[in-house]
């Protein structure tokens, strides 16, 4: 027997599988962390791509808006501190810098949890606000070629210098987050977000895909309308350690970051599995059911059609997005839900649609703290109390000698099946 440990909340759970039945461990490719991540970020700022150095762009009197795509405390602190150091060197005082934390409609973080991700030092240096796509004051800046009216945070728009910061990692349907995604949905209003996200009903809107991806292309146009002056992107490994940073022009810095992120996240798999275990990656990616199911597209890529997928996700905070829960409760078929979304689009409904598509091709089991009756109200998933119990359920469906693959970090992995010769 072999023991496989999967992230689950802030801990791990173990699955025991016969050695002969273990097919693949599908994980991000390990990249060594930068020896000194703070120095690596400062190196990127000193050598920007496609634009002048930030210290040469600003004036001492400049009002600066700095949009941050929220990450862990350490990454947040290092990125903002490095940018402040660069700004200070040009005479810009901290009082003239507004840090706006970008909105992520696909995550269910509570304000209390969000606030804990910064630390006292950063909070005491600059004024920090949290953009809310439904309540923050936004102003129009133009329209994309796909008809998305782009309305952005007024503080960001009114600033003399606009800077965006974030990590570049796989995104459910925009290809990769970071870069232009920090503008939409990051500092957009709900109408803009819905117009952009509605493009995700297109089959080309996929994790890890940028070419001809309508969501990404619309985001790029929106970022151009936003007139971003400077960007900073970091690529991390599966331990969330910074590997390398890229700064400068929004598109050029993002493109270089994506090249490295591709090396980290892409995994070629020799064959499909009879059973696939997938974890979103533990906390904070599995706080709710809404958060957790967003990695099922990854498992569906490597599972044989009709074979089971086991989602290992704690879901300590319940189902999350109410619109997601109601869509699953109301609709039985993804085609019916899709027709409804084309009439009245909702972000929760979009995630529900993605989940239903995965459920169509696979029987899904859930290892979670959620009660069985609670889940059964909105889906056909069967809840197991332990990963080994789920393995027994899945084996009954998959059959004798079923080959099993494990995906430890669903949100950070982009698998593909190796083409046959």
Q: Are residues 66 and 196 in the same domain?
A: yes
- pLDDT of 176 > 60? The answer is yes
Query: CB of 306 within 8 A of CB of 339?
Result: no
- pLDDT of 111 > 60? The answer is no
Q: Are residues 108 and 168 in the same domain?
A: yes
Q: Residue 242: inside a domain, yes or no?
A: no
Q: Are residues 229 and 285 in the same domain?
A: no
Q: Residue 246: inside a domain, yes or no?
A: no
Q: Are residues 218 and 114 in the same domain?
A: yes
Structural domain boundaries enclosing 292: 2-28+266-417
Q: Which two tokens stand for residue 146?
A: 């796909």
Q: Are residues 335 and 209 in the same domain?
A: no
pLDDT confidence of residue 112: 43
Query: CB of 133 within 8 A of CB of 193?
Result: yes
Could you give the percent of the chain with pLDDT greater than 70? 97
Q: Which two tokens stand for residue 320?
A: 């999350």
Query: CB of 125 within 8 A of CB of 76?
Result: no
Q: Name the domain count of the chain.
A: 2
pLDDT confidence of residue 419: 65
- pLDDT of 142 > 80? The answer is yes
- pLDDT of 421 > 50? The answer is no
Return the CATH number at 66. Answer: 3.40.50.11440
- pLDDT of 411 > 80? The answer is yes
- pLDDT of 309 > 90? The answer is yes
Summary count for the chain: helices (H), strands (E): 16, 20
Q: Residue 307: inside a domain, yes or no?
A: yes
Task: Share the mean pLDDT of the chain.
Answer: 93
- pLDDT of 122 > 80? The answer is no
Average confidence (pLDDT) over 108-114: 52
Local structure of 179: helix, strand or coil? helix
Nearest to 324 by CA among 286, 278, 293: 293
Going by pLDDT thresholds of 50, 70 and 90, the confidence category of residue 206 is very high
Scan for tokens 């699953």, then name that residue.
328
pLDDT confidence of residue 379: 81
- pLDDT of 332 > 90? The answer is no
Q: Are residues 62 and 189 in the same domain?
A: yes
Q: Are residues 24 and 41 in the same domain?
A: no
Q: Are residues 16 and 91 in the same domain?
A: no
Task: Identify which of 63-77, 209-223, 354-368 has the greatest average pLDDT.
Answer: 209-223
- pLDDT of 420 > 60? The answer is no
pLDDT confidence of residue 288: 95
Q: Residue 314: inside a domain, yes or no?
A: yes
- pLDDT of 355 > 50? The answer is yes
Q: Are residues 43 and 24 in the same domain?
A: no
pLDDT one-digit tens code per residue, 251-295: 999 999 999 999 999 999 999 999 999 999 999 899 999 999 999
Q: Which helix (H) or strand (E) holds 239?
A: none
pLDDT confidence of residue 109: 58
Spatial separation of the C-alpha atoms in residues 133 and 110, rounded to whole Å: 15
Angle, vertex CA 7, rays to CA 6 and CA 8, nearest 5: 110
């Amino acid at each position: 027997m072999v023991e496989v440990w999967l992230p689950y909340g802030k801990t791990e759970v173990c699955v025991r599988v016969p050695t002969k039945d273990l097919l693949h461990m599908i994980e991000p490719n390990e990249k060594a962390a930068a020896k000194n991540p703070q120095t690596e970020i400062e190196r990127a700022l000193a050598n920007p791509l496609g634009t002048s150095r930030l210290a040469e762009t600003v004036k001492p009197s400049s009002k600066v808006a700095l949009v941050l795509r929220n990450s862990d405390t350490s990454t947040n602190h290092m990125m903002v501190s490095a940018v402040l150091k660069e700004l200070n060197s040009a005479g810009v005082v901290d009082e003239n810098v507004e840090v706006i934390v970008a909105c992520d409609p696909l995550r269910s973080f509570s304000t209390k949890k969000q606030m804990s991700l910064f630390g006292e030092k950063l909070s005491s240096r600059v004024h920090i606000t949290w953009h809310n796509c439904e309540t923050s004051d936004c102003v129009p800046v133009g329209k994309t070629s796909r008809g998305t009216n782009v309305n952005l945070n007024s503080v960001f728009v009114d600033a003399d210098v606009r800077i965006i910061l974030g990590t570049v990692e796989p995104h459910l349907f925009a290809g990769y987050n970071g870069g232009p995604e920090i503008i939409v949905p990051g500092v957009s209003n709900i109408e803009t977000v819905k117009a952009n996200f509605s493009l995700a009903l297109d089959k080309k809107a996929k994790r890890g895909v940028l070419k001809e991806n309508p969501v990404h292309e619309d985001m790029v146009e929106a970022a151009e309308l936003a007139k971003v002056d400077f960007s900073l992107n970091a690529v991390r490994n599966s331990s969330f350690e910074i590997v390398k940073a890229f700064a400068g022009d929004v598109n050029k810095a993002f493109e270089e970051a994506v090249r490295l992120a591709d090396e980290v996240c892409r995994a070629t798999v020799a064959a499909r599995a009879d059973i696939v275990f997938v974890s979103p990656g533990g906390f904070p990616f599995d706080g709710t059911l809404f958060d957790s199911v967003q990695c099922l597209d990854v498992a569906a890529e490597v599972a044989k059609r009709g074979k089971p997928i086991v989602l290992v996700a704690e879901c300590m905070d319940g189902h999350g997005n109410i619109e997601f829960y109601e869509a699953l409760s109301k609709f039985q078929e993804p085609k019916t839900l899709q027709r409804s979304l084309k009439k009245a689009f909702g972000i929760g409904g979009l995630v529900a649609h993605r989940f239903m598509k995965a459920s169509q091709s696979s029987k899904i089991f859930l290892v979670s703290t959620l009660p069985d009756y609670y889940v059964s109200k909105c889906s056909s998933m069967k809840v197991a109390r332990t990963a080994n119990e789920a393995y027994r359920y899945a084996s009954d469906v998959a059959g004798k000698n079923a080959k099993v693959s494990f995906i430890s970090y669903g949100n950070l992995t982009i698998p593909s099946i190796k083409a046959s010769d």
